[in-house]
């Protein structure tokens, strides 16, 4: 009888372990940041691109480097173009903080009161997308050369499946 109870309890613990492991796998999906940037860039070409670097992340976007594990991105080096793609893997549990900082950056570039010749850039920035998937956060500003946010949204959805 004791053996039967021990076997039943062991089976129950084993079953609970499988259920617990399954939940963790789905919530900790890893993404390749460069793949995300490439997928979005197919819908939002970046004119005269330059790679996003530490200076851009900390001085332009004002993101806290302590909240960031890694990042990738491209920004247009043409003054008249607004194209921006930044993908961040936040330190575990810091995704919301990174998203909040990106929202603040979006506000700063979309309401900056730039000269009239940059009105297209401000308009594109107002509709910028900031998408969070766990500790991954992606910000995209459409280029001013006709990029369509519906195509960008589709690219983001596909990249973050």
Answer yes or no: are the C-beta atoms of 159 and 40 closer than 8 Å: yes
Q: Which of 5-19, 64-78, 89-103 has the lowest mean pLDDT?
A: 5-19
pLDDT tens by residue, 27-81: 468 999 999 999 999 999 999 999 999 999 999 999 999 999 999 999 999 888 8
pLDDT of residue 26: 37
pLDDT at 106 > cutoff 90:
yes
From the list 115, 107, 117, the residue with the least C-alpha distance to 139 is 107
pLDDT tens by residue, 145-158: 888 899 999 999 99
Q: In what order do the strands lie in the sheet with 68-76?
A: 49-51, 68-76, 84-90, 136-141, 129-133
Q: What is the pTM of this model?
A: 0.80
Q: Would the CA dihedral through 128, 129, 132, 135 be positive or negative?
A: negative
- CA-CA distance, 49 to 123, in Å (whole number)? 20
Domain boundaries, the chain: 1-28, 31-159
pLDDT at 19 > cutoff 60:
no
Total residue length of the chain = 161
Q: Are strands 68-76 and 129-133 parallel, antiparallel or unpaired?
A: unpaired
pLDDT at 87 > cutoff 70:
yes
Answer yes or no: are the C-beta atoms of 47 and 145 closer than 8 Å: yes
Between the alpha carbon of residue 124 and those of residues 100, 109, 144, 159, the distances in Å are 19, 10, 7, 21
The DSSP code for 90 is: E
pLDDT at 90 > cutoff 90:
yes
pLDDT of residue 40: 97
What region, left, alpha or beta, does residue 5 occupy, with left being phi > 0 and alpha being psi -120 to 50 degrees? alpha
């Amino acid at each position: 009888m004791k053996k039967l109870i021990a076997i039943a309890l062991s089976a129950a613990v084993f079953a609970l372990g499988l259920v617990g492991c399954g939940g963790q796998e789905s919530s900790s999906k890893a993404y390749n940041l460069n793949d995300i940037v490439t997928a979005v860039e197919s819908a939002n070409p970046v004119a005269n691109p330059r790679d996003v670097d530490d200076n851009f992340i900390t001085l332009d976007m004002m993101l806290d480097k302590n909240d960031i594990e890694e990042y990738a991105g491209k920004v247009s080096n043409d003054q008249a173009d607004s194209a921006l793609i930044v993908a961040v893997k936040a330190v575990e549990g810091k995704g919301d903080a990174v998203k909040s900082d990106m929202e603040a950056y979006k506000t700063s570039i979309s309401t900056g009161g730039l000269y009239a010749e940059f009105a297209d850039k401000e308009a594109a920035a107002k509709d910028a997308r900031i998408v969070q998937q766990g500790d991954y956060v992606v910000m995209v500003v459409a280029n001013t050369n006709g990029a369509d946010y519906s195509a960008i949204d589709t690219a983001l959805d596909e990249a973050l499946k």
